[in-house]
Amino acid sequence: MIGKRLFWAVMACTVGLCIPSFMYGQATGSFSGTVTDKSGSVIAGATVKATSEGTGVSRESKTDDAGHYLIPLLPVANYTLRVEFQGFQTVERRAVRLQVDEQRELDFTLSPAAISSQVEVNATEVAVETTNPSLGQVITSEQVAQLPLNGRDFVQLATLTPGATAESNPNSFFTQAASSEVAARGSFSLSVGGSRPNSTDWVLDGVDNNELTAGGIGTFSSIDDIQEFKVLTYNYSAEYGTRAGPTVLVTTKSGSNAFHGSLFEFLRNTSLDAKSFFATSPEKFNLNQYGGSIGGPIRKNKTFFFVDGEQKSQRHGITFTGLVPSMAMRPSATQPFADFTNDPFGKPVTGTVMVGANAVTVPGVVNPNMVGTSTNPANFPNVYFHCDAGGKPLPAAANGSQAQGTPCAKIPASLVNSIGASLLNFYPVPNASNAGAGINFVSEPVRKLDETKLDVRLDHNLTASDTIFARFSYDDAVSFVPGGFTGGFAEANAFGSNQGIINHARNVAIGETHVFSPTTVNQASFGYNRIFNYITSQGTGSCQSALLNIPGANLGCSSLGAGAKCTPGAYSCGLVSTLLIAGYWSVGDRGFTPFQGGTNIFSFKDSLDLIRGKHDLKVGFDIRANQMNVGTEAFQDGFWIPGAIGNFSGYFVAPPPVLPPPSPAFPGIRRRILFSAW
Q: Is the pLDDT of residue 2 over 70?
A: no
- What is the C-alpha to C-alpha distance for residues 159 and 155, in angstroms, rounded to an integer? 8
- What is the C-alpha to C-alpha distance for residues 36 and 671, in angstroms, rounded to an integer? 55
* Residue 57: predicted pLDDT: 86
Q: What is the mean pLDDT of residues 579-585?
A: 85
SS3 assignment for 425-451? CCCCCCCCCECCCCECEEECCEEEEEE
Tell me the pLDDT tens digit for each residue of 365-395.
999 899 899 999 999 999 999 999 999 999 9
Residue 421 lies inside a defined structural domain of this protein = yes
When pLDDT is cut at 50, 70 and 90, the band that residue 648 belongs to is very low
* Residue 106: predicted pLDDT: 92
Q: Is the pLDDT of residue 125 over 60?
A: no
Tell me how long the chain is. Answer: 678
Q: Which domain holds residue 351?
A: 325-426
* Residue 154: predicted pLDDT: 87
Residue 348 lies inside a defined structural domain of this protein = yes
Q: Is the pLDDT of residue 576 over 90?
A: yes
Residue 301 lies inside a defined structural domain of this protein = no
Q: How many CA atoms lie within 13 A of 576 on its CB side?
A: 29
Q: What is the mean pLDDT of residues 412-425?
A: 92
* Residue 658: predicted pLDDT: 37
- What is the C-alpha to C-alpha distance for residues 377 and 38, in angstroms, rounded to an integer? 110
| Residue 116, Cβ density class (10 Å: 0-12 exposed, 13-18 middle, ≥19 buried) | exposed
- What is the C-alpha to C-alpha distance for residues 258 and 236, in angstroms, rounded to an integer? 35
Q: What is the mean pLDDT of residues 89-110?
A: 90
When pLDDT is cut at 50, 70 and 90, the band that residue 427 belongs to is very high
* Residue 675: predicted pLDDT: 54
- What is the C-alpha to C-alpha distance for residues 39 and 56, in angstroms, rounded to an integer? 34
Q: What is the mean pLDDT of residues 94-114?
A: 88
* Residue 28: predicted pLDDT: 76
Q: Residue 591 in contact with residue 579, Cβ under 8 Å?
A: no
Q: What is the mean pLDDT of residues 557-576?
A: 92
* Residue 650: predicted pLDDT: 37
Residue 385 lies inside a defined structural domain of this protein = yes
- What is the C-alpha to C-alpha distance for residues 546 and 549, in angstroms, rounded to an integer? 5
When pLDDT is cut at 50, 70 and 90, the band that residue 329 belongs to is very high
CA distances from 405 to 409, 415, 652 (A): 12, 17, 23
* Residue 591: predicted pLDDT: 86
Number of structural domains, the chain? 1
When pLDDT is cut at 50, 70 and 90, the band that residue 327 belongs to is very high
* Residue 673: predicted pLDDT: 62
Indicate the SS3 state at residue 144: helix
* Residue 645: predicted pLDDT: 47
Of residues 604 and 154, the one with the higher pLDDT is 604
Indicate the SS3 state at residue 664: coil
Whether the full predicted model's pTM is greater than 0.85, yes or no, is no
- Rg for the chain, CA atoms, rounded: 34
Residue 611 lies inside a defined structural domain of this protein = no
When pLDDT is cut at 50, 70 and 90, the band that residue 83 belongs to is very high
* Residue 121: predicted pLDDT: 54
Of residues 2 and 61, the one with the higher pLDDT is 61
When pLDDT is cut at 50, 70 and 90, the band that residue 69 belongs to is very high
Strands (E), 275-376: 285-299, 303-317, 320-322, 338-339, 350-355, 358-363
* Residue 495: predicted pLDDT: 81
Which of 143, 443, 422, 399 is CA-nearest to residue 278?
443
- Secondary element (H or E) of residue 603: strand 595-612
Q: Which of 44-53, 121-130, 142-151 has the highest mean pLDDT?
A: 44-53
* Residue 588: predicted pLDDT: 93
* Residue 655: predicted pLDDT: 35
What percent of the chain clears pLDDT 90, i.e. is strictly above it? 53
- Secondary element (H or E) of residue 216: strand 216-217
What percent of the chain clears pLDDT 70, i.e. is strictly above it? 87
Tell me the pLDDT tens digit for each residue of 397-415.
999 999 999 999 999 999 9
When pLDDT is cut at 50, 70 and 90, the band that residue 169 belongs to is confident
Q: Is the pLDDT of residue 656 over 80?
A: no
Q: Is the pLDDT of residue 642 over 80?
A: no
* Residue 435: predicted pLDDT: 92
Neighbours of 291 (CB within 10 A): 22
Provide the mean pLDDT of the chain.
85
Indicate the SS3 state at residue 260: strand
- What is the C-alpha to C-alpha distance for residues 288 and 270, in angstroms, rounded to an integer? 12
Q: What is the mean pLDDT of residues 453-461?
A: 95
Which of 514, 510, 511 is CA-nearest to residue 466?
514
609 contact partners, CB below 8 Å, separation of at least 6 = 72, 73, 520, 521, 522, 523, 616, 617, 618
Residue 351 lies inside a defined structural domain of this protein = yes
Q: What is the mean pLDDT of residues 126-150?
A: 70
* Residue 115: predicted pLDDT: 55
Residue 341 lies inside a defined structural domain of this protein = yes
Q: Residue 595 in contact with residue 533, Cβ under 8 Å?
A: yes
Residue 359 lies inside a defined structural domain of this protein = yes
Q: Residue 357 in contact with residue 376, Cβ under 8 Å?
A: no
Q: Which of 30-34, 126-130, 191-195, 305-309 has the highest mean pLDDT?
A: 305-309
126 contact partners, CB below 8 Å, separation of at least 6 = none
Helices (H), 394-515: 418-424
* Residue 137: predicted pLDDT: 78
When pLDDT is cut at 50, 70 and 90, the band that residue 538 belongs to is very high
